C-alpha cells in the first residue's frame, strides 16, 4: 500500500472577469444620474393656498405662463382648520424664477359673467394655474395665497393706475370698462368703501398709450345705463355700449384747453361725476354761485337740472332745500345754482370779470327774474329759467356768503295755474244763484208780456189799420192814375209798411218761442 502514489493536491482556478456584471453597474450609475438630474431640474416645491380645488388634479394640473409649463401639481390636501385647500406644486428650473413675493397665482377656469368671458380653452384642456411674475426684484418665497379672480392688470401691460372718488358706486364693479371716445382703453380694478362715511374710492387702470390722455383737466363720469331726454320735441336716448349697460362703465374726456398739458402721474386722483352733463359743467373754470328763493312747487327740480337764459343753458342747479320759518310765517324753497360765464363768453373774459353784483343788479333793474320752468312734460323734469319781465317790481341783489341772491317770480305753468285759481276764487264769490233767479223771473215776465192778449190785440189793430190804408190808397190810385208820382211814392210807403208788419210778426213769433233772447241775444237763444 505504501507503494501506491497519492493524488496531487487540487488547484483552484480563479474565474475570469465577466462583462455581465457591468450591466447592473451601469444601470445603477444611470439611475443615480437620472435621479440627480431630475432632482436638479424639477426645482423647489411650492405651496399654494386656495379656497377650492375645483378643476385641479394631482399629477395633471400644470402651472403655466404664456402657455409655457412651469410646474405640476403633486398633492392636494386640506388645511388643518379645513377652511382652505393646500396645493403642493413641484416647479421646474424655469418656474423657480417666479417664486418671489411679487408673483400672483390664480386658477384659470371658464368664466361667464358680464365683466369677464374668459378661460373658454379650459373646457377642453381642463383648468390650470396661471401666474403673473410682477415687477422685477422681490424676495424669494415658496408660500403663496391664490387669487380668486384674475388680476385686472398684468405686470407686462404698460399703463397707469388712477383713483376716482364718488358719492355712490352705482353699477360699477371690478372689470367694468373705461371708455375714451367710445373705445375701451382700460378697466375698473377695485373699489374701497373705507369707513362707509366718506366717498367711494375706485381704482382704474388706463393702458398705454391712452394713459397719456389723462391730464389734470380731464373729467371722468359714470356712463352706466341709458340716458334719455327730450330736446326740441325729440326723444334722445344715449347709450355708451351694451357692455356698459350690463356691467357699468366709466368715460373720460380731455378739454381742448389741455392739449399741451403734461399727462397726470400714476395714482393721481380725480372726481367721478354722476353724468356727462355734470362733468361738462365742472369743466368750466369760472363758477359763479347764485341763490334764489321760490314759493311755488319745485317738484321735478333736482341737482344737475339746467339753468337757462333765453333757452340757452348758462348753468346748473347744485341743490334744492326747503326753508321753513319756525313761527310758521314763511315757507319757501332755496335753490342753489352755479352759473358758468364760459358758456357765453371765453374763459379769459369770464376770469377777468370784476365784481358781478353791479352787473346782475343792472339786469334785475331791467326785469331779470328767476322762474321755475318745465324741461319735459313727459317726465315732469323741471328747470330754472332766467327771464326778463318788463313790468317787474323793483328788487335788490344781495349776498349770502359768496353767492348772489336773485329775485324770483312764480312763472311758467305755476303762474298760469295761480291766475286761474284767482279767477275761480272771484267767480265763486259771485251771487250766481241770485242772478239766475232774477234772470228766470225776467224771462217769465217777458214771456207773459209778449205772449199776452194785449200784444195780440195791438197787432190785430195794426193789421186792420194797414188794410184800411190800403183801401184808401186804392181809391186815391183811381183818382190820380196808376203812373202818377203820388201813386208811386205811396206804393213804396205801403210796401215798406208791409215789410215792417211782417218783421214785427216774425219778431213776435220768435220771442214767443224764445223769450230768453231778450237777454242772451239771438245766437245765445239758439
Concatenate the DSSP letters of all residues of 269-309 into one string. Answer: EEEEESSHHHHHHHT-S--EEEEEEE-S--TT--TT-EEEE
In a domain, 7, yes or no: no
One domain, residues 458 and 400 = no
pLDDT tens digits along 10-32: 555 555 556 667 778 888 888 88
Nearest partner of 360 among 403, 391, 313, judged by Cα:
403
Q: 226, 254, 281 — which closes off a domain?
A: 281
The neighbour count for residue 221, using CB atoms within 10 Å, is 23
Q: Per-residue pLDDT tens for 89-148?
A: 999 888 888 999 999 999 988 765 555 555 555 556 678 999 999 888 889 999 999 988
- Report whether 189 contacts 220 (CB < 8 A): no
Overall number of domains in the chain = 4
Distance between alpha carbon 198 and the CA centroid of its chain, in Å? Answer: 23
Which candidate, 99, 86, 90, 81, places its Cα nearest to that of 49? 86
Average of per-residue pLDDT across 270-291: 86
For range 291-304, the mean pLDDT: 88
In a domain, 244, yes or no: yes
Domain, as residue range, for 118 = 23-145
pLDDT, residue 93, reads 83
> Does residue 4 sit within a domain?
no
User: Are residues 397 and 511 part of one domain?
Assistant: no
User: 281, 300, 327 — which closes off a domain?
Assistant: 281
* Mean pLDDT, rounded, for 223-249: 57
pLDDT score at 165 = 94
Question: Do 453 and 396 share a structural domain?
Answer: no
249 and 330 both lie in a single domain: no
* Other beta carbons less than 10 A from residue 422's beta carbon: 10
Same domain, 302 and 386: yes
- If we measure between CA atoms, which residue out of 273, 266, 270, 21 comes closest to residue 153? 266
Q: Are 306 and 313 in contact (CB under 8 A)?
A: yes
Query: Does residue 260 share a domain with residue 206?
Result: yes
* 5 in any annotated domain: no
Do 235 and 253 fall within a single domain? yes
Contact (Cβ atoms closer than 8 angstroms) between residue 48 and residue 129: yes
pLDDT at 185: 92
13 within a domain of the structure (yes/no):
no
419 and 456 in a single domain? The answer is no
Q: How confident is the model at residue 33 (pLDDT cuts 50, 70, 90)?
A: confident
Same domain, 229 and 190: yes
Quick check: is 93 in a domain?
yes
Domain check: are 137 and 169 in the same one? no
Alpha carbon distances (Å) from 47 to 77, 101, 350: 11, 13, 64
The Cα–Cα gap between 74 and 78 comes to 14
* Contact criterion met (CB below 8 Å) for 158 and 207: yes
75 and 172 belong to one structural domain: no
Amino acid at each position: 500500500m505504501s507503494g501506491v502514489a497519492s493524488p496531487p493536491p487540487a488547484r483552484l482556478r480563479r474565474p475570469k472577469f465577466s462583462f455581465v456584471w457591468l450591466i447592473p453597474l451601469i444601470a445603477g450609475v444611470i439611475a443615480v444620474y437620472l435621479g440627480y438630474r431630475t432632482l436638479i431640474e424639477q426645482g423647489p416645491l411650492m405651496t399654494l393656498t386656495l379656497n377650492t380645488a375645483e378643476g385641479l388634479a394631482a399629477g395633471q394640473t400644470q402651472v403655466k405662463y404664456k402657455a409655457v409649463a412651469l410646474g405640476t401639481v403633486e398633492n392636494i390636501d386640506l388645511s388643518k382648520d379645513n377652511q382652505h385647500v393646500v396645493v403642493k406644486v413641484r416647479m421646474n428650473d424655469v418656474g423657480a424664477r417666479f417664486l418671489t413675493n411679487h408673483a400672483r397665482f390664480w386658477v384659470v377656469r371658464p368664466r361667464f359673467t358680464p365683466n369677464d368671458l374668459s378661460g373658454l380653452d379650459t373646457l377642453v384642456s381642463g383648468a390650470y394655474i396661471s401666474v403673473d411674475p410682477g415687477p422685477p426684484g422681490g424676495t424669494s418665497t415658496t408660500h403663496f395665497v391664490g387669487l380668486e379672480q384674475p388680476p385686472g392688470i398684468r405686470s407686462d401691460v404698460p399703463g397707469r393706475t388712477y383713483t376716482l372718488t364718488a358719492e355712490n358706486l352705482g353699477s360699477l364693479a371690478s372689470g367694468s370698462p373705461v371708455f375714451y371716445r367710445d373705445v375701451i382703453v382700460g378697466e375698473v380694478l377695485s373699489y374701497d368703501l373705507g369707513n362707509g362715511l366718506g366717498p367711494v374710492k375706485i381704482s382704474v387702470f388706463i393702458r398705454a398709450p391712452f394713459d397719456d390722455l389723462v391730464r389734470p383737466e380731464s373729467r371722468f363720469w359714470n356712463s352706466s345705463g341709458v340716458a334719455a331726454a327730450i330736446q326740441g320735441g325729440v326723444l334722445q336716448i344715449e347709450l355708451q355700449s351694451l357692455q356698459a349697460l350690463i356691467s357699468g362703465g366709466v368715460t373720460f374726456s380731455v378739454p381742448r384747453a389741455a392739449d399741451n398739458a403734461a399727462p397726470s402721474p400714476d395714482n393721481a386722483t380725480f372726481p367721478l361725476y354722476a353724468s356727462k352733463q355734470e362733468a361738462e359743467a365742472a369743466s368750466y373754470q369760472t363758477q359763479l354761485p347764485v341763490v334764489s328763493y321760490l314759493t311755488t312747487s319745485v317738484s321735478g327740480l333736482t341737482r344737475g337740472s339746467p339753468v337757462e337764459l333765453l333757452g340757452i343753458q348758462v348753468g346748473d342747479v347744485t341743490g334744492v332745500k326747503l326753508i321753513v320759518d319756525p313761527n310758521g310765517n314763511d315757507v319757501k324753497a332755496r335753490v342753489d345754482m352755479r352759473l358758468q360765464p364760459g358758456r357765453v363768453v371765453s374763459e379769459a373774459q369770464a376770469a377777468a370779470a370784476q365784481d358781478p353784483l353791479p352787473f346782475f343788479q343792472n339786469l334785475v333793474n331791467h326785469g331779470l327774474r328767476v322762474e321755475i320752468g318745465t324741461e319735459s312734460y313727459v317726465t315732469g323734469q323741471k328747470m330754472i329759467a332766467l327771464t326778463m319781465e318788463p313790468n317787474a317790481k323793483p328788487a335788490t341783489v344781495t349776498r349770502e356768503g359768496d353767492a348772489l341772491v336773485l329775485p324770483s317770480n312764480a312763472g311758467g305753468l305755476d303762474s298760469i295755474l295761480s291766475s286761474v285759481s284767482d279767477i275761480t276764487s272771484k267767480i265763486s264769490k259771485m251771487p250766481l244763484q241770485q242772478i239766475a233767479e232774477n234772470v228766470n223771473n225776467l224771462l217769465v215776465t217777458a214771456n207773459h208780456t209778449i205772449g199776452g192778449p194785449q200784444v195780440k190785440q195791438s197787432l190785430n189793430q195794426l193789421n186792420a189799420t194797414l188794410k184800411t190804408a190800403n183801401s184808401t190808397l186804392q181809391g186815391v190810385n183811381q183818382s190820380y192814375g196808376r203812373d202818377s208820382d203820388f201813386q208811386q211814392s205811396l206804393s213804396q210807403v205801403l210796401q215798406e209798411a208791409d215789410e215792417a208788419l211782417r218783421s214785427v210778426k216774425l219778431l213776435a213769433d220768435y220771442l214767443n218761442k224764445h223769450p230768453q233772447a231778450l237777454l242772451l241775444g239771438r245766437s245765445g237763444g239758439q
